[in-house]
Amino acid sequence: MCGFFGIVYEQDKANLGSILVRAGKRLSYRGYDASGVVGIGSDCSFDLRKDKGRIEEVEERLHLSEVKGSRGIIQLRWATYGIPSKENAQPHYDCTKRVFSAHNGNILNTPELREKLINDNHTLQGENDGEVIPHLIEDGLAEGKSFTDAIMGCVRSLNGDYAFVATSLDEDGMWAVKKGSSLFLGIGKGSVCVSSDLTAILDNTREIVTLRDNELIHFTNSGFTIEDIETGEIVNRETRRIALSVEEIEKGSFEHFMLKEIYETPAKARSHLRLLKNNPSYEEAAKLISQAQRIFITGAGTSYHASLLGKYYCAEIAGVLLNNSFASEFSSLCSNILKQGDILIVVSQSGETKDVKNVLNEFRDKGGDKVIGMVNNIGSTIALHSDIVLPINSQLEVSVPATKTFTNQALSFLYLANKVAELKGRVSQEFDISFIEGMIQDSIEKGEKEVSRLLDKLTGQKEFYILGFGLTYPAALEASLKIKEVAYMHIEGMYSGEFKHGPLSIVEQGYPVIFITTAEDKHFVLSHINEVKTRNGFIITIAPLDEELSLASDIFIPLPVSNPYLVPISATIYAQILSYRMSVSLGINPDFPRNISKTITVD
Ligand code: BG6
């Protein structure tokens, strides 16, 4: 994913480096393979320091916070093109070491551009895709173009979804481009800054400007201009004030963002449920779904599991079938069958996941009709390209494993399914906000107590299965994903009815199998439990209080809910707490698990 931040002041700042490092730490969940800064003085001197490793490690080695100057850039890297190394770290520079840039996203035609640049006698330091940017700008300048026109020329050569910031020792201010990846502009008192993420801007100002794709921004310490890259027209845009609190972006008394965000879930669910009531976009979406012939739904990771739960809610409550697929699977499955009138629902908390953006673009190209985008980040690319935006109002989620956003995605689908049912004259559920909020609060308090009974049994286990049935199947998948993400254990989620058709062979004396079920489906699940029990498996059941299920289990974990539609939400909160406690007991930082990142902006 990567993330960058750039800022311009009027005069040299002795603490420019620490301002950049503070912003870098806000962006650290976007990439921790390499980190780097460049500070440029009003005397056109520059100080470039970068290396592989997380921001904290590189700061310790290279003292990035000691950099001085009147403008500076920091970049955090999540390796795609080129291994984690100093040469592939950013900011990058041109052959003259006068043009500097940093980017996030990915440039698809990098191999061709690199070959051309090398044939034109440019010296490239590494293999990273972003390194072509300062060299392409250098070419434009060598042709006598202005810096703006040189950037325009560079952008015309690039293919892909990206955003970048660039500056030069010979120019005032900085330039930035948004083309498919996130980018925000912040207007401070005496400074202007850009960043891939709002969190890095909020320490400097709350006045931000929303940027759109295909826009080029030039900014100095006192102002900015926005130019439409396609038309060349100057775009006027007002600033808007962000209400997000710094607390929102701090851990507070929690050791990790993951636990903080789990504990924020009841409050975020309450505020979301209040905003849902009579929300015009949810009404409009329900109307569209109730009248549509064919509806496709997709997402990635946790959002895919939320979309699958949405499918179950719509089928069971509204009698409407949603055709679901993984976002990365959509093209091979659906691209040849799309037609006029089809509806697409895309689910993405960040609104920037590349696999999901690909689906949206393909759906449009193939003549699909309306796109409904369920997002947490309403300023995101997916929100900007959707016909109807369904916000989930979880506020910022920093920890890589998604938690509070899953709950609000699930509640959004439950609300939507009920709305569609009403429009179709079917019986719909009473949406009692205080009851749901109480249930979520209970799930956290009782969850902490109950899952502690499982920690000794499960932590460090090489493997085990988590099985769900009907509504709880998506919860079983999400539970196994959480444990994979933050405890690095190979735990498989599966449909319990399928277990006897093969995987049952794995079961031996004491082999743990977790069953998640509603009381309504217990009859099926009881026979699945017996299939494992008779092979001496160790049965753990997570379900609403039930004598029969309790007797059939070695460990029975009661859920504080009765309504079957809320069981998957409560069970998933239990699994979030279990995976968190497992992760911490294994000495892992659950906020920044190895090898993955909060949002993947590459294919
Ligand atoms: C992955 C994250 O990169 O992307 C997951 O590690 C997340 O936590 C998935 O669920 C999808 O992200 P989004 O932003 O599209 O919901």
**Ligand 1 neighbour 199 (Cβ under 6 A):** no
Nearest CA to ligand 1 atom 5: 301
**Ligand 1 neighbour 409 (Cβ under 6 A):** no
Overall average pLDDT of the 280-287 stretch: 95
**Ligand 1 neighbour 353 (Cβ under 6 A):** yes
Q: Looking at the predicted structure, is the pLDDT value of residue 247 above 70?
A: no
Q: Which of 2, 154, 193, 334 is catalytic?
A: 2
Overall average pLDDT of the 264-275 stretch: 92
For residue 572, give the H/E element and its range.
Answer: helix 567-585
Distance CA 105, CA 603 (A): 10
Distance CA 218, CA 148 (A): 8
| Token pair 């010979």 in the structure block, residue | 170
Which atom of ligand 1 is closest in space to residue 327's alpha carbon?
15
Task: Give pLDDT, residue 584.
Answer: 95
Pairing of strands 538-544, 555-559: parallel
Task: Give pLDDT, residue 246.
Answer: 63
pLDDT level of residue 432 (50, 70, 90 thresholds): confident
Task: Give pLDDT, residue 487.
Answer: 95
Is pLDDT larger for residue 440 or for residue 456? 440
- CA nearest 330: which of 303, 360, 353? 360
CA of 536 to the centre of ligand 1 (A): 37
Crossing angle of helices 327-334 and 354-365, in 10° steps, is 30
Task: Give pLDDT, residue 1.
Answer: 60
Which atom of ligand 1 is closest in space to residue 1's alpha carbon?
3
Task: Give pLDDT, residue 155.
Answer: 96
Highest mean pLDDT among 23-27, 151-155, 267-271: 151-155
Residue among 350, 352, 413 to mutate when testing ligand 1 (max atoms within 8 A of CB) = 350
Nearest CA to ligand 1 atom 13: 348
Overall average pLDDT of the 27-40 stretch: 89
Cβ-count burial of 307 within 10 angstroms (0-12 exposed, 13-18 middle, 19+ buried)?
buried
Q: In the chain, how many H helices and how many E strands? A: 19, 25
Q: Looking at the predicted structure, is the pLDDT value of residue 244 above 70?
A: no
CA of 278 to the centre of ligand 1 (A): 28
Is pLDDT larger for residue 456 or for residue 538? 538
CA of 196 to the centre of ligand 1 (A): 17
Distance CA 344, CA 321 (A): 13
The region of weakest confidence among 94-108, 303-317, 452-466, 573-587 is 452-466
CA of 306 to the centre of ligand 1 (A): 11
**Ligand 1 neighbour 402 (Cβ under 6 A):** yes
Is pLDDT larger for residue 595 or for residue 266? 266
Average pLDDT value over all residues in the chain: 93
Distance CA 306, CA 416 (A): 13
| Token pair 């502009």 in the structure block, residue | 185
Residue among 30, 353, 399, 591 to mutate when testing ligand 1 (max atoms within 8 A of CB) = 353
**Ligand 1 neighbour 300 (Cβ under 6 A):** yes
Task: Give pLDDT, residue 251.
Answer: 80
pLDDT cut 70: percent of the chain above it? 99
**Ligand 1 neighbour 303 (Cβ under 6 A):** yes
Task: Give pLDDT, residue 406.
Answer: 98
Is pLDDT larger for residue 237 or for residue 427? 237
Q: Looking at the predicted structure, is the pLDDT value of residue 438 above 70?
A: yes
> Which tokens is 408 given?
């609000």
Task: Give pLDDT, residue 515.
Answer: 98
The CA-atom distances, in angstroms, between 131 and each of 78, 122, 146 are 15, 11, 20
**Ligand 1 neighbour 596 (Cβ under 6 A):** yes
**Ligand 1 neighbour 552 (Cβ under 6 A):** no
Overall average pLDDT of the 104-124 stretch: 93
Q: State the distance between the two ends of the chain, measured CA to CA, in whole angstroms.
A: 11
Q: Write the secondary structure of 249-284 as one string of H (helix), E (strand) and C (coil).
A: HCCCCCCCHHHHHHHCHHHHHHHHHHHHCCCHHHHH
The region of weakest confidence among 12-26, 235-249, 342-356, 405-419 is 235-249
Overall average pLDDT of the 207-230 stretch: 93
- Is residue 2 part of the annotated active site? The answer reads yes
pLDDT level of residue 80 (50, 70, 90 thresholds): confident
**Ligand 1 neighbour 194 (Cβ under 6 A):** no
Nearest CA to ligand 1 atom 7: 301
- Contact of 455 with 580, CB cutoff 8 Å: no
Predicted confidence (pLDDT) per residue in 187-196, tens digit: 999 999 999 9
- Is residue 449 part of the annotated active site? The answer reads no
Residue among 305, 406, 599 to mutate when testing ligand 1 (max atoms within 8 A of CB) = 599
**Ligand 1 neighbour 258 (Cβ under 6 A):** no
Task: Give pLDDT, residue 430.
Answer: 65
Predicted confidence (pLDDT) per residue in 496-548, tens digit: 999 999 999 999 999 999 999 999 999 999 999 999 999 999 999 999 999 99
